[in-house]
Amino acid sequence: MNLTLFVWRQKGPEDPGRLKQLEARDISPDMSFLEMLDLVNEDLIKQGRDPIVFDHDCREGICGTCSQVINGVPHGPEERTTVCQLHMRNFKDGDTIYIEPWKAKAFPVIKDLIVDRNAFEHIIQSGGYISAHTGGVPDANAILIAKHDADTAMDAAECIGCGACVAACPNGSAMLFAAAKVTQFAVLPQGAVEAKKRVNSMISSMKKEGFGNCSNHYECQAVCPKGIKVSFIAKLNREFIASLKT
Amino acid sequence: MFKEFKTTVGKKLIMALTGHLLIIFVIAHVIGNSTIYFGGLNSYAQHLHDLAPLVWTFRSVMLITLLIHLLLGIQLTLENRASKPDTYAVKKSLRATTASRNMIWTGALTGGFLLYHLLHFTFQVTNPDISARANLDSLGRPDVMVMVVSSFQNIIISLVYIVSMAVVALHLVHGIQSSFQSLGLNNNKTLGIIQKAGLIVSIILFAGYALIPLSILVGMVKG
Ligand code: HEM
Ligand code: FES
């Protein structure tokens, strides 16, 4: 199939950037979205033009590196799917596709479709850790954890930190990300030591990095490739209220 | 403690709590208004006046609540805009609604309506000829009934009230469900139920309020 692409081209952080029209020819429906871009880039390189710069790593939906807004939806039209796992069979011959980078104040564009997501690392550094004894390795099953809590922690830990939640949020808020990280520790005994400090550090860090407030639009849940639920945000809010009681 | 309430989550907690106080007021107010159907509006108004010290305490609390809600609402909205300076050339909303995206505007219109409503029925300066102060009923009480009925016989005034109530209802369609989430009173099972309940409560409140000018306009309730 042949497609018309409108791709965000931006030379660097200071460049205002704009959408450029490109053609994608002879695309197989079995290709992934990134393989389609690889093909377009080969053409661009052969013509002596600058290839489209985009982020990717594992290409199997687990690292959270790929990050593109496709026709107005972070990670594109298929639910619970990263860009790298999105296949061209979701499109048809003659389609026009708009490809833009994540847009948020906390995620400045580095080039074309690549944004700087260090702000997420800073949120993790502010509270996404636990205290553990040094010395001998503890017995793996020494601490009992209820099945329900283990499940909740695993669900929250599915977050791959791609930033689609921020990209989709009308407020550029990182609440779904912070909520998943807070919950993953909050429901486990190992996370109890820093529980009060963690939620406050993480939401303060979120603000400092330039993310917005949560207005409960729930756009984040709709685009999350890992199905992280907004119920974790309610959990973060409960953790915050619990931290007020001294 | 105060430091925590200046955080992003703390501010939303205050938004939700002040929002709940305002909702309780809005519910109590519509119940009080319904005395109009039983011819009890004047005695209801008189009772409120006899409780003057209590009423003034109550009014001050509501005013402070409203001011906090309004100022925080503006601050949150400005912060949110600053966090999303650029928009997409193409953007699809998957879950956000007209109600959720326009909270600041439905809120501002509500504030504007409130100002008019107070000037109209509380301070009675917009229509002095029919003010309750100027007309006493047969028992010598300020005739609130005549003021309300004459006002709503004017189609423009009625429309202003009905449209404003629709705007408030739109604020609450998102506001009610959002406030439960902000207070942490939500999980996967309750999310859909709370959203529906919020919608139903908003519609009932709209109907309750809009019915008064409507029934006067069509002549079902007369002075
Ligand atoms: C005076 C005018 C008002 C303004 C300017 C205003 C503004 C706002 C704004 C901007 C928000 C959304 C905050 C956010 O981004 O999350 C909001 C939420 C809310 N408002 Fe208002 N509002 C007003 C009046 C009212 C009234 C009269 C009520 C109740 C009858 C009300 C109930 C609520 C509720 C329940 C929420 C949800 C709180 C939450 O998200 O947790 N508001 N308001
Ligand atoms: S490249 Fe790793 S998730 Fe897409």
Domains recognised in chain A with CATH numbers = 3-110 (3.10.20.30), 118-244 (1.10.1060.10)
Tokens standing for B49? 């006046």
Query: Tell me: the pLDDT tens digits for A1-42?
Result: 999 999 999 999 999 999 999 999 999 999 999 999 999 999
Q: Closest ligand 1 atom, CA of B176? A: 35
8 A C-beta contact, residue A200 and residue B7: yes
Task: Specify the ligand 1 atom closest to the Cα of B182.
Answer: 41
Position A138 confidence tier, pLDDT thresholds 50, 70, 90? confident
Q: How confident is the model at residue A132 (pLDDT cuts 50, 70, 90)?
A: confident
pLDDT tens-digit map of B128-167: 888 888 888 888 888 999 999 999 999 999 999 999 999 9
Q: Which of residues 71-90 of A touch B (CB under 8 A)?
A: 71-73
Local confidence band at B3 (pLDDT 50, 70, 90 cut-offs): confident
- Cβ contact A215–B80 (<8 Å): yes
Sign, CA torsion A101/A103/A107/A109: positive
- What span, in angstroms and rounded, lies between the C-alpha atoms of A172 and A54? 21
pLDDT of residue B223: 65
Q: CA of A96 to nearest chain B CA: how many angstroms apart? A: 12
> What is the average per-residue pLDDT within B94-120?
97
pLDDT for residue A113? 98
pLDDT in tens, A108-121: 999 999 999 999 99
Residue B87 CB contacts under 8 Å (≥ 6 apart), including other chains: A103
Q: Three-class SS of residue A111?
A: strand
- Residue A228, pLDDT > 70, answer yes
- The interface predicted TM-score (ipTM) is 0.94
For A106, nearest residue in chain B (alpha carbons): B83
Q: Is the CB of A63 under 6 A from ligand 2?
A: yes
Angle of helix B52-83 versus helix B8-33 axis, rounded to 10: 140
Q: Helix (H, G, I), strand (E, B), or coil: what is residue A8?
A: strand
Euclidean distance between CA atoms A10 and A103, whole angstroms? 13
Q: In degrees, to the nearest 5, what angle opens at C-alpha A158 toward C-alphas A241 and B91?
A: 85
Q: What percent of chain B has pLDDT over 70?
A: 99
Average pLDDT over residues B206-217: 96
Q: What number does the ligand 1 atom closest to the CA of B73 have?
A: 10
Residue ID of nearest Cα to ligand 1 atom 41: B179
- Please say if the pLDDT value at position A103 is more than 90: yes
To which residue do tokens 């965000």 refer? A8
The CA distances from residue A94 to A4, A27, A90, A99, in Å, are 7, 11, 13, 16
Ligand nearest to the CA of A82: 2
Residue A102 has what pLDDT?
A: 98
Ramachandran category for residue A25: left, alpha or beta (phi over 0 → left; psi -120 to 50 → alpha): beta
Q: How many CB atoms neighbour CB B6 within 10 A?
A: 11
The minimum-distance atom of ligand 2 relative to the CA of A55 is: 1
Residue A212 CB neighbour total at 10 angstroms:
27
| A172 close to ligand 2 (CB < 6 Angstrom) | no
Taking CB atoms and an 8 Å cutoff, what residues of chain A touch B96?
170, 217-219
Chain A residue numbers with beta carbons less than 8 Å from the beta carbon of B193 are none
pLDDT tens digits, residue range A44-83? Answer: 999 999 999 999 999 999 999 999 999 999 999 999 999 9
**A240 vs B contacts (CB less than 8 Å):** 4, 7, 9-10, 13, 184
Confidence of residue B48 (pLDDT cuts 50, 70, 90): confident
pLDDT of residue B140: 86
CA distance B24 to A158: 40
The distance of B29 to chain A (nearest Cα, Å) reads 27
Give CA–CA dist A224/A74, Å, rounded: 8
For residue B1, pLDDT over 80 is answered with no
CA A55 – ligand 2 centroid, Å: 8
Q: Do A213 and B95 touch (CB under 8 A)?
A: no
Q: How far is A233 from chain B (nearest CA, A)?
A: 8
pLDDT at B138: 86
Computed from CA positions of residues A123, A127, A129, A135, in that sequence, does the dihedral angle turn out positive or negative? Answer: positive
Q: What stretches of chain B show up as alpha helix (H) in DSSP?
A: 8-33, 41-50, 52-83, 98-101, 103-117, 144-152, 155-182, 188-217
